[in-house]
Amino acid sequence: MFYYIFYKLLYVPDSPLAVFNVFRYITFRATYASLMALILILLVMPWFIRKAKALGITEGVRWVIAETHSGKAGTPTMGGIPIVLATIISALLWARPNELVLISILALLWFGGIGFLDDYIKVVKGKELGLLGRYKLLLQGIGAAMIAVFLWFHPSSSSYPSHLSVPFLKTPIDIGLLYIPFAMLVIIGAANAVNLTDGLDGLASGCTLFAALSFSVLSYLAGNSKFSHYLGIVYVPGGGELAIICAILAGVSLGFLWFNSYPAQVFMGDTGAMAFGGAIGTIAVLIRKELVLVIVGGIFVAEALSVIIQVASYKLRGEKRVFKKTPLHHHFQEKGWEEPKIVIRFWIVAIILALISLSTLKLM
């Protein structure tokens, strides 16, 4: 909206109004969109925390982690609600609406909505299991399928939607119709991986911050014809606007971290975790950096793999476990690591992975 008001309507060359020319630049709008999202969270979250406490929207503690997390019972949850709202408001004001921006916002809403339904059933209805896994997966699959099919028939990001960019390989791989289930796997996997990571104070929000910053750079470069040509990456018309969406996700993550750092005053719940994961997974698909997401979101991948490995080992090896507890962060808790130390060390790894992902740009 600001682009059309300040640049299209008010910008006049060689006049005092020429200052509004800055609104044409993605970097300017991304910076201030991120700051707006951050400020919105800082302003709204204290009110939300008070309201959640008053309404009893607080977290229980599952028996499997009750020993280490007993002090967290009663902490307000569903903090993803202001996260989603702040993201949408900032996006509508600062990003130029195009197909890619609208898809990313719809993905945020869809997966955030699934997370909200899960949180509502657990917290408000008092049913510990929340939304049953098969229904959750069905809803996630519907959302991911709509995105994948739309991109297949309307390849906004490339003339060759089935061409998969592989890090460290210059030549893309054509996967044909497998692109649809592959894109679905990326989006669903990202949503659930971030959700699994959301188990310690500041862990998911911090890792999301680094991933969002990385994808903000990747989106900007993919949406710039000169940079994409120079780096040898897929050019994504309109993809630069996704840099603004990613910057907003970074801003809300940073703002939320103010309240979610140890000891947390509020949890994002499935509402925030699934919204974050679904949006980042969708953006990775839109800019053709699906496999780079595996590197950028290495912490999320490790958390999800730990659960898969644990379940497989339990069933195939006669109830033998590989990890003390899963997801992975609980394994380190069981080994005696303090919660802040686990979070900071995971952040360090996330930063390293983000830098590695950016280093692949000239190698793709």
pLDDT at 64 over 60: no
Contacts for 34 with CB less than 8 Å, ≥ 6 apart: 90, 247, 248, 250, 251
Q: Which single residue is written with the structure tokens 């603004």?
A: 244
Residue 174 pLDDT:
82
Q: Which token pair is 248?
A: 């907003």
* Amino acid at position 111, single letter: F
Quick one: average pLDDT of 205-232? 93
User: Which CA distances in Å does 108 have to 124, 245, 252, 274?
Assistant: 22, 10, 13, 8
- Give tens-digit pLDDT for 229-284: 888 888 888 999 999 999 999 999 999 999 999 999 999 999 999 999 999 999 99
Contacts for 157 with CB less than 8 Å, ≥ 6 apart: 100, 151, 234, 236, 237, 239, 286, 287, 288
Please answer whether residues 83 and 256 qualify as being in contact, where contact means their C-beta atoms are separated by less than 8 angstroms.
Answer: yes
| Maximum alpha-carbon separation in the chain | 77
pLDDT at 13 over 70: yes
Task: End-to-end CA distance of the chain: give it in Å, rounded.
Answer: 35
| Helix, strand, coil % over all residues of the chain, rounded to 5 | 70, 0, 25
- Give tens-digit pLDDT for 67-108: 555 567 789 999 999 999 999 999 999 999 899 999 999 999
Q: Is 262 left (phi over 0), alpha (psi -120 to 50) or beta?
A: beta
Quick one: average pLDDT of 47-60? 90
Reported confidence tier of residue 156, pLDDT bands at 50, 70, 90: low
Please answer whether residues 250 and 34 qualify as being in contact, where contact means their C-beta atoms are separated by less than 8 angstroms.
Answer: yes
For residue 105, give the H/E element and its range.
Answer: helix 99-119
| Phi/psi of residue 327, nearest 5 degrees | -60, 175
pTM of this structure: 0.93
CA 29 to chain centre: 20
Quick one: average pLDDT of 44-61? 90
